[in-house]
Amino acid sequence: MLYFLLLSLTYHSIIIDGANDFNSDEIFVQDRNNDSYWGKDNELDTLYLTWDRNNLYIGCVYSLNNNAILIFLDTGEGGIDNANLLDWYPRDVRFSGAKPDYLIALWNGNLSLGGVRKLSKPTIPLSYQGENKAISNGKYFLEVSIPFSSIGKPKILRITSLICGGDYSTSCDAMPDDKSIRGEGSVIINTFREINIDSDDDNEPDSSVSVNNAAKDVSYEVIFPSFNLVKLEPEVCRGNDVEITISLTEKSSVNVSLFNENGRFLKNLFYIQDVKDTTFYWDVKGIDEGVYIIKFTTSDNSSIIKKAFVRIK
């Protein structure tokens, strides 16, 4: 009886040694062949997932040539919606629906140039075990063990894995597939692979789970933030301070820039990260007399508002 009780405490422990000892029913995502926009040398193949009582295990088979692998995990803690703002592996990738709060990343098949981090400000390195080794036919195998004590004990886990270029670049391939991937331009990921790892709400990961059967793709509506309100007070200024109020439908980062009355760019005034409603002050004492245009732009360029402003002495 004790033997069976001990068995029920765990699902499957993976030895982190570079050999793939995940089971076939631990395939979390099987990617389509030859669907990378950057060719077969930069392509995702298979994502594995399992866990025991203490650790989450993730494996990934892929090919890579002078690019990066990024595996984003959403544990429901509240994470990021814009990877361009990260201080570690920033990429031109945004998220709709899920908000990843952890990232596994490496560069060009080299895990020493990556690791695992919590996506806070700044990002925080986490303890983990990992190996990345070349296997047959130009492919690599990455396996990582992350203690649940480092990421909490999530009830539901949502994952997307991407191949991206260097800092602030886009993505060429995703697991699961996402329609926004096209090998160029900004990406908004709204499709994730989801699994419930604590279905009985006992604050312990479930045992005896077939990951392949329990996982499913979930897609969310892509919601673009837009401005509810942008207000300058005063719009005709004789003094030094202008009060600026911004209200958005969804949280976003906002760039505020200054143009002359003919539309010529003069300078960026502010870059405000991750706000929905905010009020701040602009000291205009260094601005010459004249008519200006103040341009407010969300970080994904989905919403733009322009306001006239007059400076008088």
Give the pair of three-digit tokens for residue 147: 């203690």
For residues 229-257, average pLDDT: 92
Residue scoring higher pLDDT (307 or 5):
307
Who's near 49: CB < 8 A, 6+ residues apart? 26, 28, 56, 57, 58, 59, 157, 159, 195, 211, 215
Residues 172 and 265 in one domain: no
Lowest mean pLDDT among 23-32, 197-206, 220-229: 220-229
pLDDT over 90, % of the chain: 79
Residues 231 and 280 in one domain: yes
How far apart (Å, rounded) are the C-alpha atoms in residues 245 and 252? 14
pLDDT of 248 = 93
Query: Could you read off the pLDDT of 64-88 as tens digits, one per residue?
Result: 999 999 999 999 988 998 898 899 9
Who's near 73: CB < 8 A, 6+ residues apart? 100, 101, 102, 103, 104, 151, 157, 158, 159
pLDDT of 136 = 85
Q: What is the CATH number of the domain that holds 238?
A: 2.60.40.1930
Full-model pTM? 0.75
**191-229 exposure pattern, b = at least 16 Cβ within 10 A, e = fewer:** bbbbbebeeeeeeebbeebebbebbeeeeeebeebebee
pLDDT exceeds 60 at position 6 = no
Query: Could you read off the pLDDT of 132-191 as tens digits, one per residue?
Result: 999 988 899 999 999 999 999 999 999 999 999 999 999 999 999 999 899 988 889 999
Q: Which of 185, 219, 253 is where one domain is finished?
A: 219
Residues 203 and 233 in one domain: no
pLDDT of 300 = 65
Sign of the CA dihedral with 75 first, then 79, 85, and 86 last: negative
Residues 236 and 211 in one domain: no
Residues 50 and 119 in one domain: yes
pLDDT of 8 = 38
pLDDT exceeds 80 at position 3 = no
Residue type (1 letter), 66: N
Query: Could you read off the pLDDT of 258-287 as tens digits, one per residue?
Result: 999 999 999 999 998 878 999 999 999 889
Q: How confident is the model at residue 208 (pLDDT cuts 50, 70, 90)?
A: confident
Q: Which residue has tokens 């494996």?
A: 59
Q: How confident is the model at residue 7 (pLDDT cuts 50, 70, 90)?
A: very low
Please, what is the average pLDDT of the chain? 92
Q: What is the CATH number of the domain that holds 71?
A: 2.60.40
The boundaries of the domain holding residue 108 are 2-219
Q: How confident is the model at residue 1 (pLDDT cuts 50, 70, 90)?
A: very low
Residues 184 and 99 in one domain: yes
pLDDT of 121 = 87
Residues 238 and 306 in one domain: yes
Count: domains in the chain: 2
Residues 49 and 18 in one domain: yes
